[in-house]
Amino acid sequence: MSQFREILRELRPDVSYNLHSHTQFCDGRATMAEFAEAAVKARMSHYGFSPHSPINVPSTCNMSSAAVYEYIAEVERLRELHADAPTKFLVSMEIDYIGQEWGPAIDYFQELPLDYRIGSVHFIPDLHGGMCDIDGSPLNFARNLHEVFDDNLRYVVDKFYEQSMAMVEAGGFDIIGHLDKIGYNASTIDPEIEFQPWYQDHVEALINAVASKGLTAEINTKAYSKTGRFYPHQRHFKKLRDAGISVVVNSDAHYTELIEASRREAFEMFAGV
Ligand SMILES: [Zn+2]
Ligand SMILES: [Zn+2]
């Protein structure tokens, strides 16, 4: 059984856990030690550290490759420090898919000693030969849409799902991160966009691809208290269930006080579909 399958088998819906989180090693707002303490205090069964991976394009949010072994050593140290706690600490990364040359499937990430891997799309090719972050605030998104995507929202959305499909096809990871994340920023520009048949086809095709590869989808709860939506949006929960996809519920915490943010609500909603 793969290491991640083993972790999945250990998770219990009635015991808290979180497999997606950020710390001082990328753009998280507290140290790993502080997050570990919060996870123990919440009596989580599993807490996975998943810094934004080293990346081959300019980014202020991603960890440097020089820090990778220091990061892994810190997980080891926290495991020892909390050896008597109920919480199992896991070492992971949220790996950016940039293209065939950089993503979860490349040897560099496959050879790192990680317990499991999250694959996420945060950057897509812009219309001027670069890669652009489409995951930031709606304000940044609107600016980038104008400046590097020539106001072509359809291109941005198509590209996000194209990149996501290519990432799933290339494989090398266990959990697909926030699979319809573009839906939020895109809907701040066009509130109807997610109801267009072509948009729904993208989500459906991605969910089917995730299912056929036997990947796990996360329900990402990070923004629910602010935006009223999970990633994927709760309107897609039934599709996940019908496709037989295994699901984990993650807070994608950047702040210690948010390690359990809206996880309970997500479980209840998912159980009800
Ligand atoms: Zn992410
Ligand atoms: Zn994240």
pLDDT tens per residue, range 166-224: 999 999 999 999 999 999 999 999 999 999 999 999 999 999 999 999 999 999 999 99
Ligand nearest to the CA of 178: 1
Query: Where does 3-271 sit in CATH, by number?
Result: 3.20.20.140
pLDDT tens string 7-33: 999 999 889 999 999 999 998 999 999
What pLDDT is stored for residue 149 in this prediction?
A: 97
Query: From ligand 1's centre to the CA of 41, what distance in Å?
Result: 25
Ligand nearest to the CA of 120: 1
Global pTM reads: 0.97
pLDDT tens string 44-64: 999 999 999 999 999 999 999
* Whether residue 1 has pLDDT greater than 70: no
Exposed e or buried b per residue across 55-79, where buried means at least 16 C-beta atoms within 10 angstroms of its C-beta: bbeebebbbeeeebeebbebbeebb
pLDDT tens string 130-178: 999 999 999 999 999 999 999 999 999 999 999 999 999 999 999 999 9
Query: From ligand 2's centre to the CA of 146, what distance in Å?
Result: 25
Query: From ligand 2's centre to the CA of 195, what distance in Å?
Result: 26
Residue 4 pLDDT class (50, 70, 90 cuts): very high
Query: From ligand 1's centre to the CA of 176, what distance in Å?
Result: 10
Q: Could you tell me the residue ranges of all domains in the chain? A: 3-271
What pLDDT is stored for residue 14 in this prediction?
A: 86
Query: From ligand 1's centre to the CA of 21, what distance in Å?
Result: 9
Query: From ligand 2's centre to the CA of 244, what distance in Å?
Result: 24
Ligand nearest to the CA of 22: 2
pLDDT tens string 93-130: 999 999 999 999 999 999 999 999 999 999 999 999 99
Query: From ligand 2's centre to the CA of 52, what distance in Å?
Result: 7
Query: From ligand 1's centre to the CA of 105, what distance in Å?
Result: 17
* Whether residue 266 has pLDDT greater than 90: yes
Query: From ligand 1's centre to the CA of 94, what distance in Å?
Result: 7
Query: From ligand 1's centre to the CA of 84, what distance in Å?
Result: 31
Query: From ligand 2's centre to the CA of 94, what distance in Å?
Result: 6
Compute the average pLDDT of residues 253-273. Answer: 95
Percent of the chain past pLDDT 70, that is, above it, reads 100
What pLDDT is stored for residue 249 in this prediction?
A: 96
What pLDDT is stored for residue 150 in this prediction?
A: 96
Q: Decide: 268 and 260 in contact? Cβ < 8 Å.
A: no
Ligand nearest to the CA of 222: 2
